[in-house]
Structures are given as C-alpha cells and as structure tokens.
Amino acid sequence: MENKRINKVGWQSPSNIALVKYWGKRSKQLPQNPSVSFTLSECRSETYVSYEEDDRFGFRFFFEGKENPAFGAKIEKFLLDNKNSFPFLDTLSLTVESRNTFPHSSGIASSASSMSAFVMCLMEIANQIVGKRFDLQTASYFSRLASGSAARSVFPKMALWGATPCFEGSSDEYAVSLANDIHPVFKTYRDSILIVSGETKSVSSRAGHALMEGNPYAPARYAQANENIKTLLAALKSGDLDTFINITESEALQLHALMMCSHPSYILMKPNTLNLINEIREFREETKIPLCFTLDAGPNVHLLYPEREAEKVEYYIRNVLVDYCDHDRWIADHVGDGPKKLM
Ligand code: PMV
C-alpha cells in the first residue's frame, strides 16, 4: 500500500474580552457595529490538527482527550461552508485535538479562542500543502466566519473589528490590530475574571444576536456603539482612564439592557453580578484606584485595571470579592500577545 502523507500542526490562541461590544449581526457574520477588545493570555485554546491524504474529506474532533462530535460540528460546518477557499480539503482526513487552559465549567466563552486556534492550524496546513503563506488579516477573516468575535483574537494586545471612519483600514470583514495605537498602560492591562457562575448560559450568543433583529432599541444601540468607538479609540491612544472606565462600564450594562428589552426578554446577570458591580464602584470611589468592570454575555465579571495596581486589587479580590464568586473562583488574566505556534 502506498504510504499516506501524515502531518501534524499545532497552534494556541487566546480568548478576548470586548470593551465596545459586538451585539447584532447581518448577512454572513458581519457586525452591525464595530467592536474593540483586549486579547487575553491565560484563557486560551490549544489545538492540534493531524492530516492525512485520503480519497475524500474526513473529520474527527477530540475535546480534552475525548471524541466530541457535538463540539466538532461547528468547525465541520465552517469547513464545508468555505470549502471553495480550501479545495485541498477534498482529499484530506483531519483529526482535531483541542483543549482549553481555563476550566470547563468556568462560564468563559471558548468559541473565540477555539475557532481562532483552529483557523491558525488551517492556515498552517494551507501553507504546507499549497505553499500559501498567510497573514493575520486572512486568519482574522476566516476566524470571523467561524465565530464573529474570534476575528479579534488573532492580534496581540488589542483589536478593532468593524468598519469605522475613525480608523483607517478598519473593516467589517476582518479585525485589525490596535497594538500600535494604544497608550502603554493598556499593553499590560489586567483582567481578573470573577466567576459568579460556571453554568452554561440559558440563551446562547447566537440566539442573542438574532434577537437584536426585533429589538426596538437596535438602531439607537448601533448609533451609540459607533459613538463609543470614537470616544474609546481616542482614550486608548491618550491613556485617559476616566473615559475608558465610563465607556467600558456603560457598554457592559448596555449589552445586558439589550437582553432585558428584547422579545422574549431574558437576564443573564445573577444577584452576585450586581453585588460585584456595586462593590467595585464603591471601592473605586473610596480608593481612587482606576479599576472597572465589564461583562460578557453571561454572569461573570471581568475586573479590568492597570498592572501597577495589581497588588492592591488582588488583595481586595482575595479579601472581599471572592465572597461573591462561585467556590471563591477567579482567573488572573492579562493582555496577551495573540496566537502562538505550538509545533
Ligand atoms: O462571537 P459571538 O457570536 O460569540 O458573540 C460575542 C458577543 C459578545 O461576547 C457578547 C461581545 C463581543 O464583542 O465579544
């Protein structure tokens, strides 16, 4: 029998946390408004893809050592939807092995990290098979098609996804790097993720995006997001922490307000989400430490602060905030450098 060519590639890619939120999409995974995020570091996916020549396309997906067709279905669908871009897949069998560095039940969305890690592997395979060199813009474009917010995970430090007149080169099709357009204070920012609940959310992000279509506040929201992008980009550049805090907290609350006034309405915050928000605001008032919160589409609270405040804030987390966390759980993360090749 002829020897089959077997090869393996591996990439890790981080999760990201949005400051101006992407909430609402149109047509083929295009955003209704631009969004900006910090690229994280400790919360990431590590993905390996083995491929071998075959007479047709084959696909198997293993998550944390166990075959998991349900998790793999989204990637397989992405590959089938985009097979014209990767014609060499017609005669390849892929085996994907993926794991997350953050605990399974931490309520941290893993689609941004897992989809961008997979896309980086796919770009690497394209490089090995057809000699197609890839850039981060292409990786961001395909990550976006796999899972919207994943478009932002491929860039170090910070990324902007969505066209805005305030940033040349920005696009709805892919994210762009903000690493050279931010004040040094943001390059080492901390994100302590306070785990209020590790349960799976009752309404998926996918359903949440879809509900924006009938939301009476949608046009006002998209206008406001565009304004917030403009103000935030300026604050990121100058290092204006007061404006950063104002916009970031308002965006988090707006995201959840949109859920509360969609039809049907729903609430993803838990009582301890609000308790943490109140504690954080009081602590900021008392100490003048410029920390603030943001929320993803879930109950957990992301506590954002400059690295220089880390000692004081972490003391405060351990002594006060953990009381509101599920089994005292929190994850110490910080702004990171984007995807990394593993092999
Ligand atoms: O990429 P999705 O479809 O999981 O949507 C992400 C939506 C938010 O996390 C709530 C906001 C964002 O911009 O990441």
158, pLDDT greater than 70:
yes
**Probe ligand 1: pick from 13, 19, 22, 37, max atoms within 8 Å of CB?**
22
Q: Give residue 202's pLDDT.
A: 84
80, pLDDT greater than 50:
yes
Question: Which of the four pLDDT bands, split at 50, 70 and 90, describes residue 1?
Answer: very low
How far is residue 314's CA from residue 249's CA, in Å, rounded to a whole number?
20
How far is residue 252's CA from residue 64's CA, in Å, rounded to a whole number?
31
pTM of the complete model beyond 0.95: yes
Q: Give residue 106's pLDDT.
A: 76
Higher pLDDT, 199 or 19: 19
Radius of gyration of the chain (CA): 20
Average pLDDT score, the chain: 96
Integer angstrom CA distances of residue 188 from 90, 289, 336, 341: 43, 16, 8, 22
Integer angstrom CA distances of residue 86 from 79, 141, 180, 295: 8, 14, 32, 36
How far is residue 131's CA from residue 103's CA, in Å, rounded to a whole number?
37
pLDDT, tens only, 249-284: 999 999 999 999 999 999 999 999 999 999 999 999
How far is residue 198's CA from residue 88's CA, in Å, rounded to a whole number?
40
With a Cβ cut-off of 6 Å, ligand 1 is lined by 18, 21-23, 35, 109, 111, 147-149, 205, 209, 255, 296-297
Higher pLDDT, 108 or 334: 334
3, pLDDT greater than 70:
no
**Probe ligand 1: pick from 205, 269, 301, max atoms within 8 Å of CB?**
205
